[in-house]
Amino acid sequence: MLDNLLESLGTSLESVGAMLSMEGGYFWVLLGLVLVILESFGAALALASLGVGAILTGLVAFCGLLNLYGLLVVFAVVSLILFAVSRPLANKLTASNGSTETNVRGLIGRTALVVRDVAGPHRPGYVKVDGDEWRAVSVGDVALGTGATVYITDVQGATLSVDTKPLEQEDTK
């Protein structure tokens, strides 16, 4: 059936097979495009390196100067060079510098609004952060009235320690 369809288009199954053979450039270009598209699902740039290597190998195959083994060498060398060059970029894109705090530790250093008086370290009140109310105690013997803006300096369980000065100023005392 496929043979009949191809004959009606003026080509044969053998010529399609020759176009898609590993020595034909179409195979390499098609492989490269598939690999580059698959790279969009990740950010390591490994598949993109292989994809660009395959596309460049396809361009060499169109010239007809190399046999299959020569094309495999071109593919390997170009892909390895691209991989080595792209690794530093991929590491920058995917690396975490470790400074991003998450969960309750991510609250430290942020500002909060006092919604119920915080009378000191042993008389907690409540502050609001991002629409959520948290139990809070003040650092030192400072009383904080409703409406005051405070800085979160620590988290102990579900209780925030707050101060009127940001952490950076507190560290320079």
Domain ranges of the chain: 2-94, 103-165
- What is the model's pLDDT at position 172? 42
Q: Which CATH class is domain 103-165?
A: mainly beta
- Dihedrals phi, psi of 128, to nearest 5 degrees: -115, 130
Q: What is the pLDDT of residues 75-99, one digit of tens each?
A: 999 999 998 988 887 777 766 665 5
Rounded Cα distance between 86 and 102, Å, is 29
Tens digit of each residue's pLDDT (9 = 90 or more) over 132-161: 899 999 887 788 899 999 999 989 888 998
Q: What is the pTM of this model?
A: 0.47
Q: How many helices (H) and strands (E) does the chain have?
A: 6, 5
- Residue bearing tokens 């299959």: 68
Q: Residue 10: is its pLDDT beyond 80?
A: no
Contact 152, 126 (CB under 8 A): no
